[in-house]
Homo-oligomer: A and B are copies of this chain.
Amino acid sequence: MKRPTILDVAARARVSKSLVSLVMRGAAHVSEEKRQRVLGVAAEIGYRPNGVARSLVRRRTNLFGVLLSDLHNPYFAEVIDGIQAAAALNGYRAIISTGDRVVRSEATALETLLELRTDGLILASPVLEMHAIIAASRELPTVLVARHTREASVDSVANDDPTGASLAVSHLAELGHKRITHIDGGNGAGAMERRRGYVRAMKKHGLEAHVQVVTGSYTEDGGRQGIDAIYRDGTAPTAIFAANDLAAIGALDALAERQVRVPEDVSLVGYDNTALAAIRHINLTTVDQPRPDIGRMAVKLLLERLTEERSEARHVLMAPSLVIRGTTAPPPTRNPRSARTSRRRTR
């Protein structure tokens, strides 16, 4: 099962290996005769150029390494759509690695990507420590996705989380809610910004007395834990702003378990507008991020560093927008359990 090399092709086609190399890369000035001969032999013996050898001598792999925090979150699948499209358009391929939201495994995954000598690095919502990210950025162009930074060596693309959070809070406040609680994203990427945006927006609406943040995470479990914390503590809010859609779905689940109706008893807003939120049986009001655009922009930033030799950092913020669906409504009136109206879903 030993693979043929360029030398095998050269010998058999009675040409030099340089010529084989030229032909395989589609060079212009090759006689039609030899081109055919080389191509014929290559096909015949099943020759395939060794990308490892090529990368070694060219000192570039034409690969972008993408480090994902969580393959289970559909948010990333949608960002990757944009990354792959933009990369392919420019002769690059993306290879994906994940760390399952664990610092240790992300570090290992990053290490692999670095040793593989990918030409650029896209870190999507990593939980990695900042110093590890900065270290990587000194070795190759690096862009941070959906996590904020002001570092001068690291580019970043994210949506404007504080604004997104305030979109959510304002929507709820305008519906008449006052006790709006935030289930946060813990130490997840952008969680701090969403938390701050929430607090700021609450103040703006004169609701500082009602600020309540409970600890969650960017997972379904995080949402469930948030609900547990909220209902353990006594006074329940009339609205909840969850850190992301996954957490919102976990919250939806935990609320259903407690027989709390959404949106009759409590309104719920998510973040990301993943495909999940749009499912009619979820029908979640949420904050939209332009996910494929974020992926495309990440690639663009990499290419700027690679080909235009830009050296100052760019920190791009994309505008979020609110998508109103069925999980938000005005707060319940005095006796909430009697308001058995308006189901949010068609059946």
Mark A residues whose CB is within 8 Å of B: 1, 3, 46, 48-56, 61, 63, 71-72, 74, 76-78, 80-81, 84, 88, 93-98, 100, 108-109, 112, 114-117, 135, 138-139, 220, 249, 252-253, 256-257, 259, 261-262, 275-276, 279-282, 345-347
Contacts and interface: CB of A to CB of B under 8 A. Distances in A.
Contacts of A51: 112, 115-117
A93 B77 contact: no
Contacts of A346: 256-257, 259
> How many copies make up the complex?
2
Contacts of A61: 52
Give the 6 A-B CB pairs with smallest separation, nearest first: A51-B115, A96-B96, A71-B77, A95-B95, A253-B280, A72-B77
30 contacts: A1-B138, A46-B139, A48-B115, A49-B115, A50-B56, A51-B112, A51-B115, A52-B55, A52-B56, A52-B116, A53-B56, A63-B116, A71-B80, A71-B81, A72-B74, A74-B74, A84-B100, A88-B108, A93-B109, A94-B97, A95-B95, A96-B98, A249-B279, A252-B281, A256-B345, A257-B280, A259-B347, A262-B347, A279-B282, A281-B282
Contacts of A74: 72, 74
A84 B52 CA distance: 23
